[in-house]
């Protein structure tokens, strides 16, 4: 008898490229400036991707080359990565393939080479269109370079996403307005807007401890976030997730997989994966990662299966990041698990920070700003 084998659902694949030409003042991502390690690391990534792929040629709906700065990779190294992915997996026609890029790596021929390797979308770290702000962040590029990089991506027919940062020292109202105006004028397909996290171990975090007067207050940061939202929404973007805005049809499909709990495979130092209730992460130090892969071991730091209640709480947490919100049924289950959450959510409703729409519960943009307070009561 022939047994029907169930084909696993298409997955996403995240690949972490842990190199940067220099370290920005605000960054806590796992990256190294020792570019001599690129070849050895790509060797390890190729080995790991081939091992994860096995022999099943699993279908991929999305691929995300993140970092670090994948745009730093010399072309032959990127070709080796692309070949390992193509050989191990069936990348579906129409798959979203994103590459994170720093503006000063975006030359005309580089973008064409990325497109030829199957990249469909470039996520460009612009952060700000104010040169003094970029300098303070220790960015490698100017506003003018970011502008021309964006133009090159668009001219090549790839989708363009732009990262902006708010709540930065020196990002006064005029600099923010100019940054938002420039962003809208460029008409990117997608914009991510992040508030600087000052509680993390980076140089600006240290400075925030010593000289809080240099940084915008919490109220001013909130005003910046709401102003960014208004500017982008009135230019036709949909604020579809706490930090993300998209033109119609241009939502980030890879990131959406995390928010909807869909399977994401992961390769590279510090990469995190998910499938059903299983979660795992690779070593977060490059030497430990390399050593594991080179000695034939999985570079896993940990792997675990969420408990049933934990999975429900996590599902609510990630779905409330989305504008469409969470099903009321999920909210009720969590309210049963955590009465403090139910109480705090009632406060959110009465303050207009959350709304019931049909059989879903949504946070408003003001609600998102305070969402940490609400979600802390879940656990
Ligand atoms: C991996 S980086 C992007 C790619 C590329 N390395 C670059 O910087 O252009 C992802 C994004 O996270 C944001 N980010 C990094 N550190 C942050 C922090 N401490 N607080 C808020 N956003 C941060 C930045 O907007 C950055 O563009
Ligand atoms: S923001 Fe990007 S370029 Fe800057 S250190 Fe972090 S990963 Fe590297």
Per-residue pLDDT of 225-253, as tens digits, reads 999 999 999 999 999 999 999 999 999 99
Q: What is the pLDDT of residues 295-336, one digit of tens each?
A: 999 999 999 999 999 999 999 999 999 999 999 999 999 999
Query: DSSP class of residue 31?
Result: -
Measured in degrees and rounded to the nearest 5, phi and psi for residue 138 equal 65, 35
Strands 238-241 and 190-195: unpaired
Residue 2 phi, psi (nearest 5): -85, 125
Q: Which atom of ligand 2 is nearest to the CA of 102?
A: 3
How much is the average pLDDT of 353-366? Answer: 98
- Cα(78)–Cα(84) distance, integer angstroms: 10
Rounded CA gap, 166 and 192, in Å?
A: 11
Q: Give Cα separations from 26 to 21, 23, 70, 196 (angstroms).
A: 15, 8, 19, 8
For the chain, the average pLDDT equals 95
**Residue to mutate, 22, 33, 100, ligand 1, most ligand atoms under 8 Å from C-beta:** 100
Q: What is the mean pLDDT of residues 80-109?
A: 97
pLDDT at 327: 97
Beta-strand relationship, 121-127 and 278-282: unpaired
Residue 377: other Cβ atoms inside 10 A: 15
Cα–Cα separations (whole angstroms), residue 326 to 184, 259, 363, 372: 30, 11, 9, 16
The answer to whether the CB of 127 is under 6 A from ligand 2 is: no
pLDDT of residue 199: 79
Q: Give the percent of the chain with pLDDT over 90.
A: 90
- Alpha carbon of 346 to ligand 1 centroid (Å): 34
Q: Whose CA is nearest to atom 20 of ligand 1?
A: 196
Q: What is the pLDDT of residue 324?
A: 97
Of residues 324, 340, 326, the one with CA closest to residue 376: 340
Please give the average per-residue pLDDT across 102-115, as a whole number.
Answer: 95
For ligand 2, is residue 194 a contact (CB within 6 Å)? no
Strand partners, 85: none
Q: What angle do CA 51, 252, 264 make, to 5 degrees?
A: 25
Residue 4 has a pLDDT of 61
Digit-coded pLDDT (tens) for 120-153: 999 999 999 999 999 999 999 999 999 999 999 9
Which DSSP category does 301 fall into? Answer: E
> Which ligand is located closest to the Cα atom of residue 101?
1
Has residue 259 got a pLDDT over 80?
Answer: yes
pLDDT exceeds cutoff 80 at 1 = no
pLDDT reported for residue 3: 59
Query: Which has the closest alpha carbon to 167: 124, 125, 136?
Result: 136
Separation between Cα atoms, residue 134 and residue 19, nearest integer Å: 20
CA distances from 174 to 129, 181, 296 (A): 11, 10, 54
């Amino acid at each position: 008898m022939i047994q029907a084998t169930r084909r696993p659902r298409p997955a996403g694949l995240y690949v972490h490229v842990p190199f940067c030409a220099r370290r920005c003042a605000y960054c806590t991502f796992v990256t190294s400036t020792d570019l001599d390690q690129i070849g050895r690391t790509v060797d390890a990534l190729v080995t790991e991707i081939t091992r994860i792929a096995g022999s099943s040629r699993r279908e991929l709906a999305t691929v995300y080359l993140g970092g670090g700065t994948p745009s730093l990779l010399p072309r032959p190294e990127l070709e080796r990565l692309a070949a390992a992915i193509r050989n191990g997996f069936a990348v579906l026609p129409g798959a979203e393939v994103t590459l994170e890029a720093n503006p000063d790596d975006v030359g005309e021929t580089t973008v064409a080479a990325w497109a030829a390797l199957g990249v469909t979308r470039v996520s460009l770290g612009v952060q700000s269109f104010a040169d003094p702000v970029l300098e303070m962040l220790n960015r490698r590029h100017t506003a003018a370079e970011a502008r021309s990089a964006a133009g090159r991506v668009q001219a090549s027919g790839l989708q363009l996403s732009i990262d902006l940062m708010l709540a930065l020292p020196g990002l006064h109202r005029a600099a923010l307005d100019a940054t938002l105006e420039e962003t809208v004028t460029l008409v990117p397909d997608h914009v991510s807007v992040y508030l600087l996290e000052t509680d993390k171990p980076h140089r600006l975090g240290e400075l925030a401890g010593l000289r809080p007067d240099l940084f915008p207050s919490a109220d001013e940061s909130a005003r910046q976030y709401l102003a960014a939202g208004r500017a982008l929404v009135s230019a036709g973007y949909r604020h579809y997730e706490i930090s993300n805005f998209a033109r119609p049809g241009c939502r980030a499909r890879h990131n959406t997989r995390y928010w909807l709990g869909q399977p994401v495979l992961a390769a590279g130092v510090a990469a995190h994966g998910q499938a059903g209730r299983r979660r795992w992460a690779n070593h977060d130090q490059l030497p430990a990662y390399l050593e594991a892969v080179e000695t034939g071991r999985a570079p896993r730091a940990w792997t675990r299966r969420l408990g049933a209640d934990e999975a429900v709480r996590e599902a609510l947490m990630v779905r409330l990041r989305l504008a469409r919100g969470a099903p009321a049924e999920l909210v009720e289950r969590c309210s049963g698990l955590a009465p403090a959450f139910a109480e705090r959510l009632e406060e959110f409703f009465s303050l207009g920070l959350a709304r019931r729409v049909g059989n879903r519960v949504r946070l408003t943009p003001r609600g998102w700003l305070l969402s940490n307070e609400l979600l802390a009561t879940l656990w």
